[in-house]
Structure 1
Amino acid sequence: MTLLVTAPLDTPCRPGHPGHMGMASLDGGLTVLATDAVFRSLFGRTAAEVCGRHLHDLLLPGTAGSLGRRFAELAEGGPDRFTDRVIGVPREGEPFRADLTGVSVHGSGQLPDAPAYLIALCPDDAPDPTAEHAPPPARTRTLLSPLDARILEGIAGGTSNLQLADRLYLSRQGVEYHVGRMLRQLRVTNRAALVARAHSLGMLAAGTWPPRVLPQFVKEPRTKSARTDRT
């Protein structure tokens, strides 16, 4: 369903990105009822794929934690709007950081089933639909080896170093070496912070269990011929 409702939401996007604010209406349970074309394009989905989904399904876990409370405050007559920082997860490509502004429109329409909320999503780096963009260079992302990615997935799933060693045919010291390397690479001090940091960077797929590192954060393994060419 396409969003056609005009609502009192005049929050501008960040300077330099005018006209790239996506809008959607939600019911009281934060299920998407309708969207505009910009909102759908941000997630790379059709109206049928977005409508009927819970808002949290479109956002990175951990970045949407306070939204339920903020919407509840709107429903209870608190501030007339709020703006929170979130990370959106498109169907394909990199997660994106954005400002999400919400307003309550409950009871403001003529229909009894009018949407409870209207949201505006304004990404930091909204694409210009009239321009062609090359994908970001790999050096702007943290890349893990395939083995490190499997270890990170195990840690995120609650697997111990000993269990990972057995699963990956490594020694316990070998697993600890790879974990320590990732701790240094992501500049954190323990396993819990490693998982949190990976989530904040969008490295782990949203809404997936067991945890899975997204392919764009994994280095391509060198082929045998490539290794031979180096010798």
Structure 2
Amino acid sequence: MSAPVLEDLAQTVAPHVESDRAGSPQAHPQLDQPGLNLACLDRTLTIQEATPEFFRQFGTSAAGLCGRTFCDLVHPSVQQPLLRQFAGLVEGRRDRFATEVIAVGTEDEAFTVPLTAVAVRGGTPELSSILVMMSGREESVDAGVVSNRKKLLSEIDARILEGIAAGVSTVPLAARLYLSRQGVEYHVTCLLRKLRVPNRAALVSRAYSMGVLKVGVWPPKVVNDFIK
């Protein structure tokens, strides 16, 4: 979708995606069109209003989503990069961005989905709202391992995984964590078994694909949600 089309869409839709005056969040009938998957956020990224299609994509209702922060709907591994993108809109450094995110439904069903966010300023420099447009689901992600509430790792396992992902070999990693070489190898073996992979390279790849390691962060960092 071209930038002018996005601008026209934002100007057309923004007046209709505002909070219900009675205080009860609900989808606006003006937006009840098949395939129109939109949400309106305030400056704090709280969902103020959305279309019925948006609610359906997450398997819930207006009451279940309005008032929640948008980042609650995406996997922890992509929250920080997404927050940086939204900060650009809020701070006026950009007018829009497009990316792909891992969204998480009500039953921990994870799926990738293209997302476009447009700043709505109402003719002034100040941001009045953010219009989020999402396409249909592109593919499901391994639901058995991507659960954003699944505590997979102990604290020491997390630190070892971070070290392996950063390319730290066994001896320096052992010294860093005050473990013996055999202790590190034991934990690595447990990680290989837990993530069902044959070697360290596959372990790191698997951890990123599962969302256990944060995207766009260096040195590598395990998402806190996965630590017991």
Query: TM-score scaled by structure 1?
Result: 0.54
**Higher deviation after alignment, 100-109 or 184-193:** 184-193
Query: Residue 125 in 1 paired to residue 150 in 2?
Result: no
Report the CA distance between 1:84 and its aligned residue: 1.1
Is 1:186–1:194's contact at 8 Å kept on the other side of the alignment?
Answer: no
- For residue 120 of structure 2, what is the aligned residue in structure 1? 105
Query: Residue 2 in 1 paired to residue 14 in 2?
Result: no
Q: Which SS does the other structure have where 2:118 is aligned?
A: strand
- For residue 59 of structure 1, what is the aligned residue in structure 2? 74
Report the CA distance between 1:63 and its aligned residue: 1.5
Q: Any gaps of 5 or more consecutive residues in structure 2?
A: 1-24, 162-182, 214-222
Q: Which SS does the other structure have where 2:133 is aligned?
A: strand
- For residue 110 of structure 2, what is the aligned residue in structure 1? 95
* Equivalent residues, number: 168
Report the CA distance between 1:41 and its aligned residue: 1.1
Aligned match for 1:31, one of 17, 30, 46: 46
Check 1:108–1:64 CA distance in 2 against 1; reply closer, same or farther (3 A cut). Answer: farther
C-alpha separation between the residues in 2 aligned to 1:77 and 1:211?
35
Residue by residue over 1:122-145, the C-alpha shift from the partner in whole angstroms, topping out at 9 and shown as x without a partner, is: 13438xxxxxxxxx9xxx95868x
- For residue 189 of structure 1, what is the aligned residue in structure 2? 201
Larger helix proportion, structure 1 or 2? Answer: 2
C-alpha separation between the residues in 1 aligned to 2:97 and 2:210?
27
Aligned CA-pair RMSD: 4.4
The one-letter amino acid of 1:74's match is L
- For residue 153 of structure 1, what is the aligned residue in structure 2? 153
Is 1:25–1:116's contact at 8 Å kept on the other side of the alignment?
Answer: yes
Report the CA distance between 1:191 and its aligned residue: 6.6
Residue by residue over 1:95-128, the C-alpha shift from the partner in whole angstroms, topping out at 9 and shown as x without a partner, is: 110111111113269xxxx9511101113438xx
Residue by residue over 1:71-110, the C-alpha shift from the partner in whole angstroms, topping out at 9 and shown as x without a partner, is: 232344444321111111000152110111111113269x
The one-letter amino acid of 2:26's match is T
5 Å-filtered alignment, 1:161-172, equals: none
Percent identity of paired positions between Structure 1 and Structure 2: 26
- For residue 223 of structure 1, what is the aligned residue in structure 2? none
Query: TM-score scaled by structure 2?
Result: 0.55
C-alpha separation between the residues in 2 aligned to 1:200 and 1:210?
7
C-alpha separation between the residues in 2 aligned to 1:188 and 1:208?
21
Q: Any gaps of 5 or more consecutive residues in structure 1?
A: 8-18, 127-135, 162-170, 202-206, 213-231
Aligned match for 2:84, one of 51, 69, 73: 69
